[in-house]
Homo-oligomer: A and B are copies of this chain.
Amino acid sequence: MEVTNKYITINTHIEGAPQESDFELKAAALSLSVEPGSNDVIVKNLYLSIDPYQINRMKSFSSSQKTSDFAVGIIPGQAIDAFGVGRVVASGNPKFEKDDLVAGVISWGEYSVVGGATMLNKLDPMGFPLSYHVGILGFSGLTAYGGFFEVCKPKKGEKVFVSAASGSVGNLVGQYAKLFGCYVVGCAGSKQKVELLKEKLGFDDAFNYKEETDLKSTLKRYFPDGIDIYFDNVGAEMLEAAVANMNAFGRVAVCGVISEYTDKRKRAAPDMLDVVYKRITIQGFLAADYLNVYADFLSTTSDHLRTGKMQVLEDISQGVESVPSAFIGLFRSDNIGKKIVQIADD
């Protein structure tokens, strides 16, 4: 059987904030069967994870492209791989059978042809909606869990600050931190998001950074006793302000620096005197380094979901055509929670 596979490409390398015109919806005939002897897996894509880090792959050059398998540069005109959930249509790989649910690296399109399939796994939905496996039970969840517990090494009662706190990872970090017994303040970019953090997710406090002119003073107001842990998703001035307000032996987990991704001139220049005298640790990390806690993460998080202790914040667009606008919206902080595109019904 042959279908027309619609997929998204970039027209050109992207250096600043992404625009609709940077993307193109392409269509190509695709045979839904695998050649004898091939190891390929053909996946019908169901849900795609839309993540800010992909912008670094779309640049003509970024130091990020050299340092990690899944951060390699994206070539204009070619399919764009991304984390997602799908169903196997045909498989030459003995690990997979037709109709298997899978999670892993698929692509921004209706179908994915996955060669080798080293980054694809069978998915047991465990009774949860499939979209959960793209976000809270997927890489966003592992990023939050590994970053908070393994990088930040929290102690009960510590004061935690989370930026982009209504984003895919931030909202989960805040929830893990609250459940663990920390005091948690988040920042976000709208009144609605701030309300949501306080009302729905149980943050101790939250503020709209767009209404603040002096972030150092703002954080001083929200943390009169200082910050012990800063989970950084944005970089730039916010990182500087957090370091200035940090307590002795404070820890910064640098998960992402979205404000620096689309503006090279934006750079955090934290006061290194603070770093020395307060013995601050600033540590970058990738979720892939914490696969050792994956089983813990999955059982803890699914328990919290079943008992209603964690809330799911999803922002789902429909159809492959919506991928570019979903992605572009990340850099305009349009999304509330995990940005997902549903490509097809389960």
User: Residue A22 at the B interface, CB < 8 A?
Assistant: no
How far does the alpha carbon of A67 sit from the alpha carbon of B63 in the complex, in Å?
A: 35
Q: Specify the chain B residue showing the minimal Cβ separation from A62.
A: B273
- Is B276 a contact partner of A286 (Cβ separation < 8 A)? yes
When A63-B244, A67-B248 are in contact, do A279 and B283 touch as well, CB less than 8 Å? yes
A106 CB, min distance to chain B CBs, angstroms: 22
Flag A64-96 by CB within 8 Å of B: 1 or 0 each. 100110010000000000000000000000000
Chain B residues near A71 (CB-CB < 8 A) = 277
Chain B residues near A67 (CB-CB < 8 A) = 248, 274, 277-278
Q: Give the residues from 249 to 305 in chain A that come closer than 8 angstroms, CB to CB, to chain B.
A: 254-257, 260-261, 267-286, 289
A interface residues, how many (CB within 8 angstroms): 38
- Is A284 a contact partner of B289 (Cβ separation < 8 A)? no
- Is B283 a contact partner of A280 (Cβ separation < 8 A)? yes
User: Residue A102 at the B interface, CB < 8 A?
Assistant: no
The copy count of this chain in the complex is 2
How far does the alpha carbon of A281 sit from the alpha carbon of B284 in the complex, in Å?
A: 6
Q: Specify the chain B residue showing the minimal Cβ separation from A234.
A: B272
- Is A277 a contact partner of B239 (Cβ separation < 8 A)? no
- Is B63 a contact partner of A273 (Cβ separation < 8 A)? yes
User: Residue A175 at the B interface, CB < 8 A?
Assistant: no
- Is B272 a contact partner of A64 (Cβ separation < 8 A)? no
- Is A254 a contact partner of B276 (Cβ separation < 8 A)? yes
A64 CB, min distance to chain B CBs, angstroms: 4
Q: Specify the chain B residue showing the minimal Cβ separation from A267.
A: B269
A250 CB, min distance to chain B CBs, angstroms: 10
Q: Can you list the 8 inter-chain pairs with the closest CB atoms, starting with the nearest?
A: A267-B269, A275-B284, A269-B269, A276-B284, A64-B277, A67-B277, A257-B272, A282-B282
